[in-house]
Amino acid sequence: MAEAKTRPTKQSVTSFIKGVDEARRKDCTTLVRIMKQASGAPATIWGTSIVGFGTYELKYADGRTADWPIIGFSPRKQDLTLYVGRRVDGTLLKALGRHKLSGGCLHIKRLSDVDLDVLEKVVSASVKETRRQHG
């Protein structure tokens, strides 16, 4: 069985964010604050480009398992990808603003496109749901 490629690293989150496109740096710093507050866990770099908070055991359909962040994000070229889990409250999403939802990923071009208070609720709800399911 192959090992998961995306695992926690020792890379500095601050250094990682400093290396991100200047336009995304402020958004990344805001996401770190929101996700750290919701999860109560410090930020950790997973793989080469994911900032994750906390850990849970993810189970794949074929029975394999891997550690994965309870909540996290990645500043991709096209958008900010937030790893929020599969169950996101539709009412919150309607109030969020411009976004796309794909599986357990919430895609946002920039934080100025969304209501930050609603985003905080989405992140907090995701953390609670993940802990409830895998706690």
Q: Nearest CA to 39 among 135, 128, 134? A: 128
Query: Would you state the pLDDT for residue 135?
Result: 67
Q: Which CATH number fits domain 13-134: 3.10.20.30, 3.90.1150.200, 3.40.50.1370, 3.40.109.10?
A: 3.90.1150.200
Instruction: List Cα–Cα distances, 66 to 23, 27, 92, 104, in angstroms.
Output: 33, 28, 29, 16
* Token pair listed for 46: 């997973």
- Strand-by-strand arrangement of the 105-108 sheet: 43-46, 50-53, 71-75, 80-83, 105-108, 100-102
Residue 3 pLDDT grade (very low, low, confident, very high; cuts 50, 70, 90)? low
Average pLDDT, the chain: 91
Q: What pTM was computed for the model? A: 0.92
